[in-house]
Structure 1
Amino acid sequence: MSAPTVTRPEGGPSGSPASPPSRLDGVRSYATVIGMLVVVVLIAVARPLFVDPRNLAAVAVDATVLVVLAVGLSVLMAMKGLDLSIAATADLAGYLAARALLDGHGTATAVLIGLAVGLAVGVANGVLAGYLGVPAIVATLGLNLVLTAVGLVVSDNGTPQQLFTAPIDLVKPMLVFGSDSWGPFRLLLLAAVVVVAVVWFATTRTTWGRRIELVDAGARAAELAGTPVRATFASGFVLCGLLAGAGGLMLTARTGLAVPGSAQPFLLDAFTAVYLGATASPRGRVSVVWTVLGAVFVTLLANGLVLLGLGAPWRYGLNGALILLALALGVLRRRATR
């Protein structure tokens, strides 16, 4: 007969029962969300126009490109990866798509070119960081520089592609996508919602999503569990690159203009959105839904600063401060849960 199993009560090293979670713990879990609400309220008090429905509708459209870029980045960062090339990818994708339109190749060809750029960059990053083991920060930074150089070459040192001054029969579908609505909803907003829904489903309801969680828990443990770690990690870069290409198309459609460097501000904004979303999440982990919240808040903050008459230095400074704050809160939360 086997020996009886002794079950110890849960708790600390002394075996004392664990104390139930207090209300203070619940408040701490949502401290970042409360902080976001406080900031929004303060801006609304200072500038009531901030909460005008028309302004909020404009903010929702402005957030679409950032949401798409940040959601792609969040999948990668959920596996402790990163991609510094998303802005350069979006720039090149949008520019080449605009040039294809103006050269008369049609909307379908232009869209395919933009998505192909994103896919190619994602595959390159996936091979370098996922299969060859090059550190992601090195691989994506190097590719970022290459893409920036390519963008300057193909644009003849920054010559813009202006869709809004071109013959309407060449660019109408793209401009309609960027400015028209379906019922009360802008097409750009609907496209962003579809992207978020698809990525959320893929990361939470599929085998691929479970593999991402295993890789996040630890590459060695994931390998022992039979997870194809390299392929899963590489797939995050592919998705990130593909959504960066889509974001570039959306930015070109929204502005009616393609200029090298126009997507660069989204790089810092995307990282801020992911970090804020992870800090705001009760689990303290990167997820698609909470990243969307972070992206919306970053866009609201940028809009509020404009209404308050504060320029780009304030925006960059606050975004940097928010990233540092999110990292600090994440470290404190991990220490508190040990």
Structure 2
Amino acid sequence: MKKIAVLTSGGDAPGMNAAIRAVVRTGLDKKLTVMGIQRGFSGLINGEIFEMDRRSVADIIQRGGTVLRTARSEEFKTEAGQKKGAAILNAFGIDGLVVIGGDGSFHGARALSKYGINTVGLPGTIDNDLAYTDYTIGFDTAVNTVLDAINKLRDTSSSHERVSVVEVMGRNCGDIALYAGLAGGAESIIVPEKGYDINELCRTILEGKLRGKRHNLVIVAEGVGGANDIAKKVEEVTGIGARATILGHIQRGGSPTSNDRILASRLGYRAVELLMEGKSSKVVGVKGGNVIDVDIDKALAMERKFDEKLYNIAIALSY
């Protein structure tokens, strides 16, 4: 192993820069040449590759987004595009590739490994929807971004004695809603894993009003969808003013938390170690606080389990 490369793919996540930094500086520490690939797999098949040094990753650990930028590539989803990507890597003499992204990015890494490229994946996504790892890079920051927003919304909601319905990201994974809802003291948490009953929600809100509650905070995961519809229905049934807030892509931005910076650094370091050990088609993650690596096929086949215990705690504490 003499030369490796790193790219970021799919949706950006806070902590990606910390992961890039870890890969580059670990590689250089181990006397490797490290190349950066811009704009993900799209940039790969266009040959957007350049050499990186320690200065390339200076002053980026605290920055959100990704300095390598990211893009989605329909061409790379085809066999022809994947073969072209492998050929480009071979042309540059690249022996190993670190791919930072979510499940779609991991499918791309797996495809390249079938063409003889040593690949290792890092879980960079705010959704926390990869079953093999407890946490993904960017998740903790996204939760704290939501928490900051709902703290502010609670102030205005209390002043007007309203219901605030907040829609958060996460695709079909409710973890951002669950963690932010628990930390923010939400009265109701709606996630795709559990669903919801609008009548039960309205009854809960009315019962809270009878107990003297001045406001209600409802967190809705986008996989359930319809924050506007939920707010409208709540207002119609309860007679209490309800407002919907869709936080959107603000959850992907911002300076990463210390947890995300440390996680990204640990996983990036291990990714380079795996490449130097001759390992390929692997993904790294964390279980019980320990860094692990798993075969990419096994990781992608794992069924994600919703944290029922944490959900039950959140519901018990919401009344």
Q: What is the TM-score normalised by the length of structure 2?
A: 0.26
Q: Which has the higher contact order (CA 8 A, sep 6+)?
A: 1
Specify which structure has the higher proportion of helix: 1
Specify which structure has the higher proportion of strand: 2
